[in-house]
Amino acid sequence: MSEPFSGMAGRPLPGFVDIQVNGGFGHDFTADPSSIWAVAARLPECGVTAFLPTLTSGPPDTAVRALEVLASGPPAGWRGATPIGLHVEGPMLSHHRRGTHPPEALRSPSLEYVETVLAAGAPRMVTLAPELDGAEPVVRRLVDAGCVVAIGHSDATAAEANRAFEWGISHATHLFNGMSGLGHRDPGVAAAVLDHDSVTAGLIADGVHLSPESMRLAFRLLGSERLALVTDSISAMGAGDGVHRIGSIAVEVTGVEVRNAEGRLAGSAATFDHVARTMREATGCSWEELAAMTSATPARIAGHRRHPADLVLVDDDLRVLATSVGGEIVYRGVA
């Protein structure tokens, strides 16, 4: 497995797979889908070899444009992490759990919206709130089209979430965040996911979105085969503190923490190696379990067949030393 790094000191791991990347390095995919390739070129700096570019709530034209960008392929001479499809997060979300998704962009589940997007190609993942009127036929249509449908930004009860799992929803976007929770008499989405036998979940282990106790609870109940670490990164990842944007919304960034004008969390500025490090520190997971949560599990969720030479070389503190995509070293850090 370590052949691309022959003669280099460090620990080789399967390349990281991030299934929720809204942008980074000053670029926002919702505002400018054409920036997907620019961000992809730099993601190997964080150990990422494959990812799902993710759009926040907007008109169907934005998703259509992003699908066209992916279908057109990278510019000549490009090297970087592989986009493995599109994650459309919204706009069929709960107003009560919208986070920083602009309220004017939200809409009820609509087959018309879905068909407009599908005409340009099937997204790899779509996140929606299944308690909304009209959600069932939308979920079933997306599943039939080959999309992974995820529950997220949802105020559903556990009973509503369980019904949605029967329709074909198989994943939960950023577990605990943007969803009804663990009330002991009124269990919500988080309780339904933790109680289910097979639903997978993304986890923003950046040290801000979740407490160590919540990370350990998710890890103990779901295990590394059902948890996928994600960054939920925005344009501020790799771009420093200050004012940045998610689509049309201005946000304030301090370290990895991102908040909107209302003080709500609004994605993250964390890199993927940061969330891997934070998860390992919080849970004491083994290197093998970490490799599952950072690579094998998210790849399986996204239906991505990993190249055996998609690798990242890290030190014992999970700092990225080098990254290989398809056997070619595309990033080499400063020793």
pLDDT in tens, 41-53: 999 999 999 999 9
Percent of the chain with pLDDT over 90: 91
The CB-side HSE value for 50 (13 A sphere, CA atoms) comes to 24
Contacts of 223 (CB under 8 A, 6+ apart): 289
Yes or no: say if 113 and 58 are a contact pair by the CB < 8 Å rule: no
Q: What is the CATH number of domain 3-332?
A: 3.20.20.140
Predicted pLDDT at 263: 86
pLDDT in tens, 199-237: 999 999 999 999 999 999 999 999 999 999 999 999 999
> From the CB of residue 44, how many other CB atoms can be counted at a distance below 10 Å?
25
- Average pLDDT (108-129) is 97
Per-residue DSSP letter, 17 = E
**Phi, then psi, of 135 in degrees rounded to 5:** -70, -35
**Helix, strand, or coil here: 274?**
helix
The CB-side HSE value for 150 (13 A sphere, CA atoms) comes to 29
- Average pLDDT (145-159) is 98
Yes or no: say if 179 and 172 are a contact pair by the CB < 8 Å rule: yes
- How many whole angstroms separate alpha carbon 245 and alpha carbon 263? 14
Q: Which residues pair with 265 in a beta bridge?
A: 259
**Phi, then psi, of 332 in degrees rounded to 5:** -135, 115
- How many whole angstroms separate alpha carbon 129 and alpha carbon 124? 17
Q: Which amino acid is at 88?
A: V
The yes-or-no answer on residue 28 being catalytic is: no
Contacts of 131 (CB under 8 A, 6+ apart): 94, 154, 155, 156, 157, 160, 164
- How many whole angstroms separate alpha carbon 25 and alpha carbon 40? 10
Say yes or no to pLDDT of 2 above 60: no
Question: Whole-prediction pTM value?
Answer: 0.97
Yes or no: say if 125 and 302 are a contact pair by the CB < 8 Å rule: yes
Provide the token pair at 156: 């559903």
pLDDT in tens, 226-271: 999 999 999 999 988 999 888 778 889 999 999 988 888 888 999 9
Predicted pLDDT at 264: 86
- How many whole angstroms separate alpha carbon 55 and alpha carbon 110? 18
The CB-side HSE value for 64 (13 A sphere, CA atoms) comes to 11
Instruction: Please report which confidence band the pLDDT of residue 335 belongs to, taking 50, 70 and 90 as the band edges.
Output: low
Mean pLDDT for the chain? 95
Provide the token pair at 214: 């919540």
- How many whole angstroms separate alpha carbon 105 and alpha carbon 59? 7
Predicted pLDDT at 334: 74
Predicted pLDDT at 266: 87
**Helix, strand, or coil here: 144?**
helix
Yes or no: say if 148 and 157 are a contact pair by the CB < 8 Å rule: no
- How many whole angstroms separate alpha carbon 120 and alpha carbon 139? 18
The residue annotated as part of the active site, out of 206, 232, 273, 310, is 232
Q: What is the largest CA-CA distance in the chain?
A: 58
E strands present in the chain: 11-14, 16-21, 23-24, 27-28, 48-55, 82-83, 87-89, 125-128, 148-151, 171-172, 200-204, 227-230, 242-246, 249-254, 257-260, 265-268, 311-314, 320-325, 328-332
Say yes or no to pLDDT of 26 above 80: yes
- Structural domain boundaries in the chain: 3-332
